[in-house]
Chain A
């Protein structure tokens, strides 16, 4: 079967760094997306990885290891507005995104 495993909730301090891990199992693989979703809003795109390694984009970075079925999202210099759910979504061989429940990130002052 296909499944996503992310922590349900994480807490971090403003200004700090947090890493959100994701392991996945899919039927085929066509890359992995990270989305941010604030409460009551639709998801917004953060990153896409299809090759192994680290992709850096401002305060956010995303890492992928295809052989391990593992990805992480790294958030630096945390701000209060980063409080949201972070969704790891691999794309399977049919180009369908597989969604988990996401990781709720709580930022404290």
Chain B
């Protein structure tokens, strides 16, 4: 299976600043990565699908200008929360699908907990 690493695990920032979260596929070239957000006691919510070399596909209701996604290589996707506000405080998780021939399961990064003061 794929190994996915996220950084940072925890970040605290002031309101109005921007925060970048990195998602790396360590042993698998991922043309597609997924970004999720999870508020406490709620389900995972797909924010966007990150496509290597092209624009990300955002889910309805997710502001693409606020949540900037860059997928410049087959092993790295970044999510930048611009002008963060307290309501953006959440658990952000990236994932990749398994290798072709696998069950297609999602492998998740460790997650990044963002707290905006």
Contact = CB atoms under 8 A, between A and B. Distances in A.
Interface residues of A, number: 21
A52 to B, nearest CB: 16
Contacts of B43: 4, 87, 99-102
A42 B95 CA distance: 10
A96 interface: yes
Given A99-B43, A99-B45, A91 B104 contact: yes
Given A40-B113, A42-B111, A96-B46, A101 B41 contact: yes
A97 interface: yes
Interface residues of B, number: 19
Per DSSP, are chain B's interface residues mostly helix, strand or loop, or mixed? loop
Contacts of B45: 99
Contacts of A96: 46
Nearest to A39: B40
B111 A41 contact: yes
B107 interface: yes
Per DSSP, are chain A's interface residues mostly helix, strand or loop, or mixed? loop
A91 B93 CA distance: 18
Contacts of A100: 43
A48 B44 contact: no
Given A41-B110, A41-B111, A99 B44 contact: yes
B110 A45 contact: no
A31 B109 contact: no
Interface of A: 4, 30-31, 33, 40-45, 48, 50, 87, 91, 95-97, 99-102
28 contacts: A31-B103, A33-B106, A40-B91, A40-B111, A40-B113, A41-B110, A41-B111, A42-B108, A42-B109, A42-B110, A42-B111, A43-B44, A43-B93, A45-B106, A48-B103, A48-B104, A48-B105, A50-B103, A87-B43, A91-B104, A95-B104, A96-B46, A97-B106, A99-B43, A99-B44, A99-B45, A99-B46, A101-B42
